[in-house]
Amino acid sequence: MASGVTTAAVSKETDRRAAPPKPARSGADLRWARAAVLPAACLAWLLATSAGWIAPGRFPSVPEFLDALRQIAVAGYADGTLAQHIGHSLKLIGLGFLAAVAVGLPLGLAMGWSRIVDAVAGPVFSLLRPIPPLAWIPLAILWLGLGDGAKIMVICVAAFVPNVVNAYAGVRGIDRSVLEAAEMLGTPAWRGLAEVIVPAAAPMIFTGLRLSLQTAWAALVAAELVGAFLGLGRVLNVAQQDIYPAMILVGMATVAACGWLTGRLLEWAERKAMPWHASARSAS
Amino acid sequence: MGIRYTGHPPMGPGRAAVLGGIGLLGFFGVWTLASMATTGLPRLLPGPWEVLQRAAALLGQPFAGDTLPGHLAGSLSRFAMAYGLAVVVGVPLGLAMGRFRPIEAVVAPLFEALRFIAPIAWVPFAALWFGTGVGGPVLVIFAGAFPPCLLSAYRGARLVDPQLLEAARMLGTPVLRTMTEVLFPAAIPSLVAGLRVAAGTAWQSLIGAELIIVSSGIGYLMVQGQAQISTATVMSGMIAIGVVGVAIDMALRQAEHAVKVRRGLS
């Protein structure tokens, strides 16, 4: 398997970690500025739209945004209320993500563990991997139509690759002496897998889970934008056709919030699953 | 008998090639069998040979307004425009963020907030603001390529040896020159890796944008293939996307290597 894949995935991950701003050594004024940026941006939005500096058809004003939010939350928009759209999208994400983990994780572990599995599955995997997940959308629609099945397939394809790549890298990166110790002590295979290999590869596995959750959301939004009956992508799609900027913003904000929340959920699960790794993560 | 955790000894290239061949043979075998099993149904799954023939035909014969190379050229020019824009905006901004704390303090929170929005979710606003011709897709691709550009430049600038910056300051080097001659060269190792990641995300966003709002390019070819229930056309498009994606990645890998060699890093 191409090692470049792994480094790309890893460097994305380090990007993520490098991103949160570190507290400035030079003083409290910068920390203050940092905290003020987002409120200031909201204020600028309020001012710019109410003063008419931004054409109303281009970007919604704050009241328009709140009206749209109320409309979709109470009366519904694009054949459902906000809660229904969110619930539907979350269900698809959950199913696709679980399917990808259920297939990708064992495959990645097996490829990392056994050179034979790697040699057999590696070339097929390298053949299919360059096809971006979103390119599967038309095929998914041809096979499964515009319903839920096609979305789950696309999400599953999208989330599959990071799982395989990172589980593989995780197993390959395990300290050899740990494995040799387990082998020398005569640990049975299933115990070695459950108590040595998976825990040692867990940080990389979780990196894969986080990356695949991100790509899963992107895939879901794209698949629903192409065509759907319910879901957040459908909200965006209908709002685009209605030329309804406030509702577009509501849809984008909701997608971002959902992506953020599921990411936090995964981080929580990561801390629970790897208490020994918690101190390293809480620093970031 | 316990299993060998340390794995099997590295196998020779010959054995690996045989096993890899078995894997590929199995893959194409299952594909062919599955396509033969579904022959009676509407053409859900054309066989590998059929797809290859279709791809070869598309090289010369126009579909959805253009030939396959024509669509690819359209996609690539869109890609180049947006990617170039992301590099030109993201790299200087990232370097400045890494060097000047006040800039970082202002940009980082905004960037962090916006980054939770998937690039593809910009499609409706992109279409509304810039139309579906050139501008809209460029914004979507830009949204995909911009974050890795900015982050790799930022990370690179943070890793610069402070002594170099102090020396530059002591020698009275102007700010702009410090950026171009101290900060930028020092950030190159991080940058080249980030720019390659950015090309991947940009290519991916391009496909998404073309599936949804554009009426030319390789994504549009696939949409049309789907509309006409021509699975072979859709699969040809997927192959073309994969091949071009790999070619872009390889070209950038070469460039990365060349840069590193020239700077004596490898």
Per-domain boundaries in chain A: 62-282
Determine the residue of chain A that is closest to B8 in CA distance: A115
Domain ranges in chain B? 1-45, 48-262
Average pLDDT over every residue of B193-203: 92
Chain B nearest CA to A189, separation (Å): 6
Phi, psi of B214 (to 5 degrees): -100, 150
Flag if B124 and A12 touch (Cβ within 8 Å): no
CA distance A177 to A193: 15
The shortest CB-CB distance from A15 to any of B148, B212, B226 is to B148
> What sign for the dihedral angle of Cα B11, B17, B22, B23?
positive
CA distance B114 to A256: 8
Chain A nearest CA to B174, separation (Å): 22
B238 close contact with A: CB closer than 8 A: yes
Class at the top of the CATH hierarchy for domain B48-262: mainly alpha
Flag if B125 and A245 touch (Cβ within 8 Å): yes
CA distance A170 to A10: 11
- CB-CB contact of B232 with B221 (8 Å): no
CA distance A107 to A93: 21
Chain A nearest CA to B161, separation (Å): 17
Is the ipTM above a cut-off of 0.90? no
What's the gap between Cα A38 and its chain centre? 23
SS (H, E, C) chain B: CCCCCCCCCCCCHHHHHHHHHHHHHHHHHHHHHHHHHCCCCCCCCCCHHHHHHHHHHHHHCCECCECHHHHHHHHHHHHHHHHHHHHHHHHHHHHHHHHCHHHHHHHHHHHHHHCCCCHHHHHHHHHHHHHHHHHHHHHHHHHHHHHHHHHHHHHHHHCCCHHHHHHHHHCCCCHHHHHHHHHHHHHHHHHHHHHHHHHHHHHHHHHHHHHHCCCCCHHHHHHHHHHCCCHHHHHHHHHHHHHHHHHHHHHHHHHHHHHHHHCCCC
Chain A nearest CA to B24, separation (Å): 6
**Local confidence band at B266 (pLDDT 50, 70, 90 cut-offs):** low
pLDDT computed for residue A8 by the predictor: 42
> Which single residue is written with the structure tokens 């995300």?
B201
B16 close contact with A: CB closer than 8 A: yes
B65: left (phi over 0), alpha (psi -120 to 50) or beta: left
**Domain A62-282 coded CATH 1.10.3720.10:** yes
CA distance B109 to B180: 26
CA distance A157 to A135: 10
CA distance B139 to B120: 10
Determine the residue of chain B that is closest to A19 in CA distance: B151
Flag if A180 and B6 touch (Cβ within 8 Å): yes
Count Cβ–Cβ pairs < 8 Å, chain A vs chain B. 218
Determine the residue of chain A that is closest to B6 in CA distance: A179
Q: Name the nearest CA neighbour of A137 among B222, B20, B114.
A: B222
Flag if A19 and B111 touch (Cβ within 8 Å): yes
Flag if A37 and B105 touch (Cβ within 8 Å): yes
The shortest CB-CB distance from A21 to any of B104, B129, B242 is to B104
Tokens of A6: 């792994």
Chain A nearest CA to B126, separation (Å): 10
> In a mutagenesis test of the B interface, which of A12, A15, A114, A248 is the best target, namely the one with the most B β-carbons within 10 Å?
A15
Instruction: Look at the pTM and tell me if it is higher than 0.95.
Output: no
Flag if A119 and B129 touch (Cβ within 8 Å): no
Query: pLDDT tens, position by position, for chain A (284 residues)?
Result: 444 444 444 444 444 444 444 444 455 677 887 888 888 888 888 888 888 787 777 889 888 999 999 999 999 898 899 999 999 999 999 999 999 999 999 999 999 888 889 899 999 998 898 999 999 999 999 989 888 999 999 999 999 999 999 999 999 888 888 888 888 888 888 888 888 888 889 989 999 999 999 999 999 999 999 888 899 999 999 999 998 999 999 999 999 999 999 999 999 999 888 887 754 444 43
Determine the residue of chain A that is closest to B111 in CA distance: A19
